[in-house]
A and B are shown apart, each in its own frame.
Chain A
């Protein structure tokens, strides 16, 4: 008999924190910044119950380096912040990628550039998907659209990160972080979470009974750094081949395909639903992994003779570049975006879709 799982009303920030704890996260370091403050508060309240470590760091710079240390020590570690704080963490993220350490970084995006404002935005797509810090590296980037999905994805974020020994980023926006909605907790996904973690023989635990381990990204001998980079590139190619994820909605017979992620994906889904009720042949691809970008799904859509794409973002056009790279000139790609507190309106998106149908 199916047992009804509890539904709890919570903010996206709380859902992420709870999802992380259930996924076996046992180290959190962070620095307060709006609009993700509920997350650090939740961790400070509940991490100890799980036997984990919570540290309020003196800066985002310290926070990400604490995560580096905890990851090196072999536990599931994470931090969270919002856009300006994530910018400050980029040095550490580059080191984590270079040292092949797993961890999860949550970015609840706000308006930029600079101090910007605290309104929701999706303006850090480039930073998240292109590496962000110095050097040739990528983070796995997951973009939940609802509090439920955020909760469910935390498990995957840690698993992927451990498996590929590279940082995972949860890329949400202020709407996702702040909005409260019912979340089904204790699902099968979260019950098995953290139970079967990948062994970390490379971790720093003291060298009793084995040769010493070293965690580092520095390679001084000629040719050594290139070797490390080639190893990383092989890993990225493997992730790109295996881990592309997206949700599709009415794409099979669609003449116009909307591409949107996170909160915009949710708004676009509402628009597609409305237009379908009026018989308009429109569909939606909602990328869940932003890196690797779900190229195979977009390319699958490109195979048909007549289709066009409408990309919408709470930015002035960042993910649209990835869509254009996939489409590669075969079909029309148009864009509608607002940011810095502005959100593309449904009516404007509908006008864009109708224009694309002509």
Chain B
């Protein structure tokens, strides 16, 4: 009998602390499935962020390190250089990767570190309670932009993926989304390719995953998925950037 669907070996069987409708559970699973399929569980080292996914190491069943807020790429740089045969990936949110850690992100990318970055963009700060993120959309109401993001005051949503794609040392950048099953399958393909790139020594690969945060977007899980499809991906178009 052929097994069509089972629990990934790299994902522990436990309840997560994530809210209803949150995208982290799906993103964790996609990474786990890819790690299993590529048979790299025994040589993967993950760098968990500060933010909602800080205890990703409680869910993944392989070696993990925590990093200070924004510093995952610096930590990943060192681990990869020390263990070039290990497979290193960072898993970071928009605040982590594109606000407090922008410097570490840009320079790791510019050095062409042979690592994989999984970048979760949900347009909001989740862990701290729904404040403006670098990727918050214009007019989007948050705990720190109660009248909506005013681009004249707060600037425009930061397109870090497009910025990184400009760097000659960056090998691959792709934006995907989790708002429906077809997009989730595309997201998995992109995640898989980003790991394959590393295994082939191609250099820095980043997958931006547009992900739902119903709790702080302030909509039901279903409405949040619709909002991503109708609004968010207009600001952050999906597809291969580089």
Contacts and interface: CB of A to CB of B under 8 A. Distances in A.
Interface of A: 26-27, 29, 53, 55, 57-59, 61-63, 65-70, 72-75, 77, 91-92, 95, 99, 204-209, 212-218, 220
B67 A68 contact: yes
20 contacts: A53-B82, A58-B104, A63-B74, A65-B68, A68-B74, A69-B74, A69-B82, A73-B78, A91-B68, A95-B66, A95-B68, A204-B64, A205-B45, A205-B86, A206-B63, A207-B62, A209-B42, A214-B63, A216-B64, A218-B55
Given A206-B43, A208-B42, A214-B63, A69 B68 contact: no
B83 to A, nearest CB: 6
Chain B interface category by residue count: 35 or more
B44 interface: yes
Contacts, number: 130
Given A72-B65, A207-B42, A65 B81 contact: no
Contacts of B82: 26-27, 53, 69-70, 73-75
Contact of A69 (B54, B61, B64, B75): B75
A58 B75 CA distance: 13
B68 A220 contact: no
A283 to B, nearest CB: 45
> Which 10 residue pairs across A and B have the least CB separation, nearest first?
A69-B78, A208-B42, A69-B75, A65-B74, A216-B66, A206-B43, A65-B71, A58-B107, A73-B82, A70-B78
A218 B58 CA distance: 12
Nearest to A220: B55
Contacts of A27: 78, 81-82
Interface of B: 41-45, 47-48, 54-55, 57, 60-68, 71, 74-79, 81-83, 86-87, 103-104, 106-107
A120 to B, nearest CB: 30
A77 B83 CA distance: 14
Contacts of B60: 212
Most chain B Cβ neighbours within 10 Å, of A29, A62, A70, A74: A62
A209 B74 CA distance: 27
B74 A57 contact: yes
Most chain B Cβ neighbours within 10 Å, of A59, A66, A209: A66
Nearest to A216: B66
B63 A204 contact: yes
A135 to B, nearest CB: 12
A270 B165 CA distance: 61
Contacts of B107: 57-58, 62
Contacts of A61: 71, 74, 103-104
